[in-house]
Chain A
Amino acid sequence: MKLKNLLIAAIRSLAKNKMRTFLTMLGIIIGVASVIAMIAIGQGSKKSIQDQISTLGTNVLMIWPQASNTGGVRMEAGTSQKMTIDDVNIIIDRCPSVAAITPQVRTSGQLVAGNLNWRTSVFGVYPTYFDIRNLKLESGSVFTMNDDRSASKVCVIGQTVVTNLFGANADPIGNFIRINKIPFKIIGITETKGQNAYGQDQDDMVIAPFSTVQKRMLAITYIQSMLASAQTEALIPVASQEITEVLKAKHHLGPSEDPDFTIRTQTDIAQMATSTSAIMTILLATIASISLLVGGIGIMNIMLVSVTERTREIGIRMSVGARGSDVLLQFLIEALMISLLGGVIGIVLGIVISQLIATVLNWPVNITMNSILMSFLFSSAIGIFFGWYPARKAARLNPIDALRYE
């Protein structure tokens, strides 16, 4: 039988039972639509977590000194005073995979402007900090290395600080604020970044030149931590390795000895966070796949009933010259048409549902080409798999018995 005629025969018999065809299809439609919507929700939340993490800067390495140990009493991590500005310089010299690096000191300060005051963190960093953290300015400019060398009393402040000291939408560039009674000139305001993945307000801070904070405010000789960026995201492990070797050599530690510092990268954090949502995606997709499977069993069920009900028709077809393979193909094509058409409708419905969830519930969704392709292939596989058994049963009928069937 020609393929065209087979298709015609399949379409005719599906059209004869429109309601049944539709209900059979419904199982596949719901299955495919839920797979697509579920994966879209899962991928959406994964992406939003990734986006949040990337606000910290994607290829960032944080280098902390190890906990100090004074006469056997171990202090908290980062309290060691062994890390100095020399460590920063040697990394700049010897680590080619490191794109930029800044020392970091931090203190908290009482800010006063006019009759308002506010307490927040004050960071002392190099100007490279802005590149590493992917921090952009709303207005004004960043301080320079000259400001650092002269320990200038200038600062860049976040939006939260602006709002609390000058009111919303104010432009305080050029104004002075007093931080722990030292007057600082405001030269820049950072762009709003919002909360980070841990709920910290990233706009509530003051950034000043490293030397200014280290010498004028903290009066210390060591640095608290370093922040570096790798040339590319892929080079993070290499950069981490280089820094470890250079610092260990500088701190006179043998290759077998434990380093007296810790390097943490964004990838560690990102992996942890995304693996959580990946598990959720798998969970959602599994549940949705089960409904797709149930839809497939529905097809098999209906096709089996259909073969029994149409025994006489099969007998008639065989008596006018249909071969076993013609009958097999016809039933298989019917099953495949149900699953493919159901699959296509399901994909459209899944996309519509995802968009609805995005607009009505304001959830992040991300429809991937993969999920569409996967559910399309899956639903056609279901058609063939669950259509095969009933189709074979039909093809193996004996024409004489089939014609006599009441």
Chain B
Amino acid sequence: MAGEDVNMSQAIISVKNLVKVYTMGDVEVHALRGVSVDIRKGDFAAIMGRSGSGKSTFMNIIGCLDVPTRGKYMLDGVDISMLSKDQLANLRNLKIGFVFQSFNLLSRTSALENVELPLMYNRKISSKEMRNRSMKAMESVGLANRADHMPNQLSGGEQQRVAIARSLVNDPVVILADEPTGNLDTRTSIEVMDIFQRLNEQGISIVIVTHEADIAAFTKRNITFRDGKIIREVEIDKPRNAREELIQMPVAIEEDEL
């Protein structure tokens, strides 16, 4: 029992018997039917499954965008089932970074200002610190020189990197990425996975949702959903290495583009 307790304290996300039921008129939709899983500090996990398998509902709940119907969810030691809407917003601000499939950057707003966004809702941060931290986040995704660009002046891969910088800037306990490579071509997808791998090496915990097995292969752990339940959990012994693959790729891709 003692050993389990230590494991529990290391788990930044701890979910037990999570159930989510949507009521649409007379019909009850069981999106989650009892999900239990722990995400530990430094984890890099991929949530897999077909559409309708409940993986998006699961992400919404662990992202504090939604609350479970039943079950317990501890985020960084806090039981979220007791929290108000405003407290959930606070948790999203301080503990979670989101990356979306469609980037979701504010249009006609510079990359740097997009990255600043989470800090604007943090009362404790001065505007000077806001600038510094945002620039640092932009540097860590390799876009420091594009800080003043508008999203429509950036490529898809660059936009997603800005989104990753935004998710990083508040120093969250976990980054949640929902199909982060869904709108990107193969090479750009690998570039994005490279950034995730580098961030994970620095100790940042990351959970991504994907339906592509070859993207999931970059992570350390694959969790597969079907019909609102986890049907398989696999530890990946030897994940794909995005950095090495990128070194070998460029020539071939450039020929394709021609």
Contacts and interface: CB of A to CB of B under 8 A. Distances in A.
Contacts of B85: 323-324
Nearest to B176: A319
B19 to A, nearest CB: 18
A399 interface: yes
Contacts of B108: 16
B98 A322 contact: no
Nearest to A313: B106
B109 A16 contact: yes
Interface stretch (B8-16, B87-95, B154-162): B87-95
Contact of A323 (B63, B89, B106, B127): B89
B106 A321 contact: no
A312 B65 CA distance: 14
A9 B166 CA distance: 16
A3 to B, nearest CB: 10
B86 A320 contact: no
B60 to A, nearest CB: 6
Contacts of B123: 1-2
Contact of B166 (A8, A320, A403): A320
A17 to B, nearest CB: 9
Nearest to B86: A323
A318 interface: yes
B104 A312 contact: yes
Contacts of A181: none
Contact of A1 (B66, B98, B106, B120): B120
Nearest to A315: B104
Contacts of B118: 320-321
Contacts of B170: 320-321
A1 B120 CA distance: 7
Interface residues of A, number: 25
A403 B93 contact: no
A321 B92 contact: yes
A138 B214 CA distance: 107
Contacts of A400: 60, 65-66
A289 B181 CA distance: 55
B122 interface: yes
Contacts of B92: 318-321
With most chain A CB atoms within 10 A of its CB, the pick from B90, B105, B122, B170 is: B122
B10 to A, nearest CB: 25
Interface string B36-78: 0000000000000000000000001001011000000000000
A319 to B, nearest CB: 5
Contacts of B120: 1-2, 5, 8-9
B70 to A, nearest CB: 19
A12 interface: yes
Contacts of A260: none
A349 interface: no
Contact of A324 (B86, B90, B94, B121): B86
19 contacts: A1-B123, A5-B120, A9-B120, A12-B109, A12-B113, A316-B105, A317-B121, A319-B63, A319-B92, A319-B98, A320-B166, A320-B170, A321-B92, A321-B118, A322-B121, A324-B89, A325-B86, A399-B65, A400-B65
Interface of B: 60, 63, 65-66, 85-86, 89-90, 92-94, 98, 100, 104-106, 108-109, 113, 117-118, 120-123, 127, 166, 170
What 10 pairs across the A-B complex have the smallest Cβ distances? A321-B93, A320-B118, A321-B121, A323-B89, A5-B120, A16-B108, A323-B86, A321-B92, A316-B104, A319-B98
